[in-house]
Amino acid sequence: MSFARLFDIPYHQQEHYPQEACFAAKVGGEWVRYTTQGVIDRVNQVSASLLRWGIRPGDKIAVISDSRPEWNFVDYGMQQIGAVNVPVYPQLGENDIRYILDQVGVRLVFAEDADCCEKVDAVRDDIDSLEGTYTFEEVEGVSHWGDLLIAPEEGDLGEVEAAKADVGKEDLATIVYTSGTTGRPKGVMHTHRNIVSNVQACIDIMPVEPGQRALSFLPLNHMFERMISYLYVAAGVSVYYAESVDAIGDNLREVSPHTFTTVPRLLEKVYERIVSAGKAQPLPLRLIFYWALNVAQNYELHGRSWLYEAQCKLLDPLVFAQWRQALGGNVIAAISGGAALNPRLARVFTAAGIPVLEGYGLTETAPVLTVNRYELEGRNFGSVGKPIDGVQVQLAEDGEVLAKGPNIMEGYYEQPGKTEELFDEDGWFHTGDVGEWDDGFLKIIDRKDALFKTSGGKFVAPQPIENRLKESFLVDQAMVVGRGRKMVTALIAPDFQNLKQWCRDKGVEWPGRDTILDQKPVRNRFAQMLEEKNEGLSHTEKVKKFRLVPDEWTVEGGELTPTLKIKREILREEYEELIEEMYAEA
């Protein structure tokens, strides 16, 4: 492909398949579309303005914002002049934001809105390098990003072109801080080559074509969504940004995308809404829905019988077509990453004609290492697929996944010791994940540091058990506990919206979320759920006791990472008394 640096990608699109909507977003209730040429013009305007402001190669600029076209404008704009993008999740607390901005010595901040500005203001006095803040939304008393922009003259564009010529593919493009399930986040350094190599290796795998549409609702700070965004532009796919997580359903119907990327938790929410809608239908339709759900949950990629195929064909116009229509009616495939996908979800959506292609990688690998392909022979439920071109993957003696390739990070910013810990003498990058091969497909068991031994010496992988628990519509999040203990237990954060509906259906009084968990019918229902989920688990893996917690685990509360993974150490400390209480009863 004719691009070697990330900022070459919009020019690649303009040359090969210019779009009327390179990017689009809702403004005042209406979709505003930016043509490919319009994007390039805005990017050059950003570059010229930053040069005029005094930004030079190697300077660090933070972007504290979720996904929107402006994110891309400033990203490409700073890349063109050799500046380094340091994306920051808006949901992070002040301490993490202070740490990141101070460590990299950020000169400028682009903040999304007033909330982000408040966090920057709270740490401003601690960041000696910070010289200015601009916002994407209008915020009183703070400079709008439009105030920074100048209309570039011929001389300005000449400076931009000269700056672009000095940027090489091995130059640092970004420092992406890990979401951090434990300890301080670490700044992953990626060059243009690291990320471009991943785009080029994945572009032929993705079932996308020029002129198609994608809906984006994951944050661009997430390495997965960011790389895919570059890929969309390189492939000539129009990127529409969802208004919010709550508006995804409406935006799917409005945009009718051909693809979207997601994390498993969001797919679980979609599945829960499908099940809730099915349960609410009149009896005859409800019976058909349960039939369809049972058929979908038993879907296999290969070896389906003629009877099974006949059922799918009959159920498609009655049920599955409605599911597809709820996602806009045009989805060819959804791409899942960031965490382990429950195979049940992959089966259900694939049976309904919405293949879910699960991939695997890390922020440190820019990010994709393996992925399931769209073609049937390249897919395997429960796996994260096969390695992409140019990337080598092997397992260490203890099962840890090791990788080599042009996408592997340059290292952690100003933490050479942490970097050296992850590379062995043969140059293999140690992912920290434990996996196994299944006929050439990689399966991830769990994080190496999450695996634990019970006091009886038996190994337990908590993540698969937690995923089983989250299959229940009553469970929002769960954490399995048992390191060094004689049995496995679990903390369960209920899905209070679904629990409230269950109470209404069963005639159980709802006194409030703080006391509902003490109600005997509720405790009995969760105990029944646990008994069902324990089926099929080994004796060691079975969850013997549980506690329901009245709190919602969130990114803002510090219990989840921005990619919706649980922070085990934080939760263990927060619920130490409850955990000890469970074991004291044994």
Tens of pLDDT, residues 489-524? 999 999 998 999 999 999 999 998 889 999 999 999
pLDDT-derived band at 34, boundaries 50, 70, 90: very high
What's the pLDDT at 586?
Answer: 62
C-alpha–C-alpha distance, residues 115 and 319, integer Å: 42
Residue 527 has pLDDT above 60, yes or no: yes
Mean pLDDT value of segment 228-246: 96
What's the pLDDT at 151?
Answer: 80
Does residue 365 or residue 274 have the better pLDDT? 365
b/e code 58-72 from CB counts within 10 Å (16+ = b): ebbbbbbbbbbbbbb
Q: Hey, CA dihedral for 370, 372, 375, 379, is it positive or negative?
A: positive
* DSSP character string of 395-444: E-TT-EEEEESTTS-SEETT-HHHHHHTB-TT--EEEEEEEEEETTEEEE
pLDDT-derived band at 1, boundaries 50, 70, 90: low
Does residue 338 or residue 288 have the better pLDDT? 288
Q: Closest Cα partner for 413 from 461, 377, 363? A: 363
Q: 176, 222 in Cβ contact below 8 A?
A: no
Residue 339 has pLDDT above 90, yes or no: no
pLDDT-derived band at 308, boundaries 50, 70, 90: very high
Mean pLDDT value of segment 346-357: 96
For 536-573, the pLDDT digits (tens) are 899 999 999 999 999 999 888 889 887 788 999 999 99
Q: Give the Cβ contact number of residue 445 at 10 Å.
A: 18
Q: 45, 150 in Cβ contact below 8 A?
A: yes
What's the pLDDT at 191?
Answer: 98
φ, ψ of residue 172 to 5 degrees: the values are -65, 125
C-alpha–C-alpha distance, residues 272 and 261, integer Å: 18
DSSP3 helix / strand / coil % (the chain, rounded to 5): 40, 20, 40
C-alpha–C-alpha distance, residues 319 and 503, integer Å: 27
- The rounded radius of gyration (Å) of the Cα atoms in the chain is 24
Give the single-character DSSP code of 155: H
C-alpha–C-alpha distance, residues 146 and 139, integer Å: 12
Q: Closest Cα partner for 223 from 117, 116, 369? A: 369
Mean pLDDT value of segment 38-54: 96
What's the pLDDT at 266?
Answer: 85
What's the pLDDT at 291?
Answer: 96
Q: At what angle do helices 496-506 and 520-534 cross, to 10 degrees?
A: 110
> How does the average pLDDT of the chain come out, rounded?
94
Q: 407, 191 in Cβ contact below 8 A?
A: no
Q: Give the Cβ contact number of residue 520 at 10 Å.
A: 8
Mean pLDDT value of segment 126-139: 96
Mean pLDDT value of segment 200-217: 95
Q: 276, 352 in Cβ contact below 8 A?
A: no
Mean pLDDT value of segment 43-50: 96
What's the pLDDT at 180?
Answer: 59
Residue 336 has pLDDT above 80, yes or no: yes
What is the β-pairing status of strands 60-64 and 84-88? parallel
C-alpha–C-alpha distance, residues 19 and 40, integer Å: 12
C-alpha–C-alpha distance, residues 371 and 362, integer Å: 13
Mean pLDDT value of segment 381-398: 96
Q: Closest Cα partner for 173 from 1, 8, 37, 49? A: 8
What's the pLDDT at 163?
Answer: 97
What's the pLDDT at 183?
Answer: 67
Q: Closest Cα partner for 410 from 149, 144, 189? A: 189
C-alpha–C-alpha distance, residues 419 and 427, integer Å: 12
C-alpha–C-alpha distance, residues 100 and 61, integer Å: 11
pLDDT-derived band at 182, boundaries 50, 70, 90: low
Mean pLDDT value of segment 438-458: 92
pLDDT-derived band at 116, boundaries 50, 70, 90: very high
Residue 371 has pLDDT above 90, yes or no: yes
pLDDT-derived band at 181, boundaries 50, 70, 90: low
Tally of CA atoms within 13 A in the half-sphere of 463 that contains its CB: 20
For 395-444, the pLDDT digits (tens) are 999 999 999 999 999 999 999 999 999 999 999 999 999 999 999 999 99
Count each helix (H run) and each strand (E run) in the chain, helices first: 21, 26
Q: How far is CA 251 from CA 25, 101, 240, 246, in A?
A: 10, 34, 9, 10
* DSSP character string of 457-481: S-EE-HHHHHHHHTTSTTEEEEEEE
